[in-house]
């Protein structure tokens, strides 16, 4: 059942300033790039109605977003074009401007009654909100809409494994599984005179941006909430029922929703509700998917929220750091430079195929990501070099890179959120994955052949 009520636990005042007279209520959209099931947007509409003002939704397009390139920007702009159309149908003004985000938002806030923002968890996202809350002349609210359970409600400390958060977050989530209805804006704001970029001409916008264009867009993923909903519909009808079964390389039972979650183009809450309500699917399959969407994803957000060194090997548990240090000088039978790895120039056909797929598709199945990352540890001469290489390639090529899951998952390769295993060369007590282990999970020969046939001409 849908409700317009937004739980208090999602809402936080970021300053102690008052609501003032203004030309509009301002919602700075950043993490939650969607018009549906967006708690920050609906809160902003409600505040605008309370203020008897129109609502301006603004997005700051910065050219120097950490590790972002042409691939990421195109996908994001496709999603923002979706947002523009959807907000226009709701009589809500939307503007996208290019520049330094805090400056853009602070400038628009000068004419605002009050400012609402969604919540981001990475270091620069937190800093942006602190700067804006300090500079804005009006009240600033933050509304969390990127998780099912607000991060501090799920846990008040950094959790060290899925097992330490699973019971609590699954139980707490029951109080948040309420679909969010839309609230009508009482005062049409589409005639507000605010200049911005023309999202009907994405190619022209990209040409205006000084961004890395060495990584090209992909064909398999187009940005936007409509695209995300189509993938969710396909997943629910074709693949959810097989989610807890062994994977098939040719037809994997996965949702392909991680890029859309990364950009906030679809709500994790909306996905979870659809999964829960799907008829004719086993509880085991639903639970297996919700383990990834709720427990694992929000464990990663817990990690970046409570761990200041989330993008450094300093984040590792002491047992992992110690065992990797002990084995750092162990002999490697194969050694590759970062360039050789990026160019898929190793002796291992399966690894090369995985690297080629992530370069050209911007996506990789989790089992292949694990194998890909573990081999980087095995084939590089220091733990620090392996970590930086894995994180750099992850963030460069994956559409879902550069977020909480990226930092948690790459660190997991080195022992984060895991336990000690049997000691062995190079890895010490950190979990190892062999070629035979990969073969037990997927049909490697078929996978390699598929990738070679699909991308041999590229």
Kindly state the average pLDDT of the residues 15-26: 97
Burial 390-399 (b: 16+ CB within 10 A, else e): bbebbbbbbb
The number of beta carbons lying within 10 Å of the beta carbon of residue 157 is 10
pLDDT digits (tens, 9 = 90+) for 144-201: 999 999 999 999 999 999 999 999 999 999 999 999 999 999 999 999 989 999 999 9
User: According to the model, what pLDDT value does residue 3 have?
Assistant: 83
pLDDT digits (tens, 9 = 90+) for 383-413: 999 999 999 999 999 999 999 999 999 999 9
User: According to the model, what pLDDT value does residue 243 have?
Assistant: 85
Lowest-pLDDT range, 210-214, 349-353, 354-358, 452-456?
452-456
Lowest-pLDDT range, 113-117, 243-247, 355-359?
243-247
User: According to the model, what pLDDT value does residue 210 have?
Assistant: 94
Task: Decide if 39 contacts 145 (C-beta within 8 A).
Answer: yes
pLDDT digits (tens, 9 = 90+) for 361-373: 999 999 999 999 9
Kindly state the average pLDDT of the residues 274-282: 96
Kindly state the average pLDDT of the residues 229-235: 97
User: According to the model, what pLDDT value does residue 178 have?
Assistant: 93
pLDDT digits (tens, 9 = 90+) for 42-76: 999 999 999 999 999 999 999 999 999 999 999 99
Burial 402-439 (b: 16+ CB within 10 A, else e): bbbbbbbbbbbbbbbbbeeeeeeebbbbbbbbeeeebe
Lowest-pLDDT range, 337-341, 431-435, 436-440?
436-440
pLDDT over 50 at 458, yes or no? no
| Report field, pTM of the whole predicted structure over 0.85 | yes
- Which of 1.10.579.10, 3.40.50.2300, 3.90.1200.10, 1.10.287.130 would CATH assign to domain 313-455? 1.10.579.10
Task: Decide if 35 contacts 168 (C-beta within 8 A).
Answer: no
User: According to the model, what pLDDT value does residue 251 have?
Assistant: 67
pLDDT over 50 at 449, yes or no? yes
pLDDT tier for residue 229 given thresholds of 50, 70 and 90: very high
User: According to the model, what pLDDT value does residue 2 have?
Assistant: 78
CATH class of 2-150+187-208: alpha beta
> Domain residues of the chain, as ranges?
2-150+187-208, 313-455
The C-alpha atoms of residue 170 and residue 148 are separated, in whole angstroms, by: 10
pLDDT over 60 at 447, yes or no? yes
User: According to the model, what pLDDT value does residue 230 have?
Assistant: 98
């Amino acid at each position: 059942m849908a409700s317009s009520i937004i739980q208090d636990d999602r809402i936080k005042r970021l300053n102690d300033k008052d609501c003032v007279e203004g030309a509009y209520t301002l919602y700075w959209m950043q993490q939650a790039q969607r018009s549906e099931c967006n708690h920050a947007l609906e809160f902003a509409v409600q505040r605008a109605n309370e203020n008897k003002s129109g609502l301006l939704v603004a997005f700051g397009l910065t050219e120097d977003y950490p590790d972002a390139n042409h691939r990421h920007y195109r996908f994001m702009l496709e999603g923002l074009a979706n947002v523009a159309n959807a907000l226009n149908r709701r009589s809500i003004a939307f503007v996208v401007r290019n520049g330094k985000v805090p400056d853009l938002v602070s400038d628009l806030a000068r004419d605002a009654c009050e400012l609402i923002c969604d919540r981001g968890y990475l270091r620069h996202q937190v800093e942006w909100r602190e700067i804006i809350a300090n500079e804005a002349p009006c009240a600033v609210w933050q509304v969390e809409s990127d998780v099912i359970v607000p991060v501090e409600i799920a846990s008040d400390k950094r959790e060290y494994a899925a097992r330490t958060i699973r019971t609590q977050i699954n139980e707490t989530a029951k109080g948040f599984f309420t679909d969010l209805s839309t609230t009508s804006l009482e005062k049409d704001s589409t005639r507000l005179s605010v200049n911005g970029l023309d999202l009907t001409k994405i190619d022209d916008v990209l040409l205006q941006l000084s961004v890395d264009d060495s990584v090209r867009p992909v064909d398999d993923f187009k940005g936007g909430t409509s695209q995300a909903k189509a993938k969710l519909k396909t997943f629910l009808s074709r693949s959810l029922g097989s989610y807890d079964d062994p994977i098939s390389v040719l037809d994997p039972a996965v949702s392909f929703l991680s890029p859309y979650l990364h950009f906030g183009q679809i709500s994790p809450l909306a996905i979870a509700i659809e999964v829960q309500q799907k008829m004719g699917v086993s509880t085991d399959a639903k639970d297996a998917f919700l383990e990834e969407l709720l427990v694992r994803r929000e464990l990663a957000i817990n990690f970046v929220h409570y761990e200041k060194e989330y993008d450094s090997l300093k984040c590792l548990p002491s047992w992992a750091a110690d065992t990797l240090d002990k084995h750092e000088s162990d002999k490697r039978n194969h050694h590759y430079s970062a360039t050789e790895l990026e160019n898929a120039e190793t002796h291992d056909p399966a690894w090369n195929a995985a690297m080629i797929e992530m370069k050209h598709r911007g996506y990789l199945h989790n089992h292949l990501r694990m194998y890909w990352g573990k081999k980087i540890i095995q084939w590089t001469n220091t733990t620090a070099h392996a970590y930086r290489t894995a994180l750099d390639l992850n963030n460069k090529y994956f559409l879902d890179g550069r977020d909480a899951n990226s930092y948690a998952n790459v660190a997991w390769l080195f022992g984060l959120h895991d336990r000690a295993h049997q000691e062995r060369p190079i890895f010490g007590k950190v979990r190892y994955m062999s070629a035979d282990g990969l073969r037990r999970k997927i049909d490697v020969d078929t996978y390699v052949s598929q990738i070679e046939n699909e991308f041999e001409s590229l």
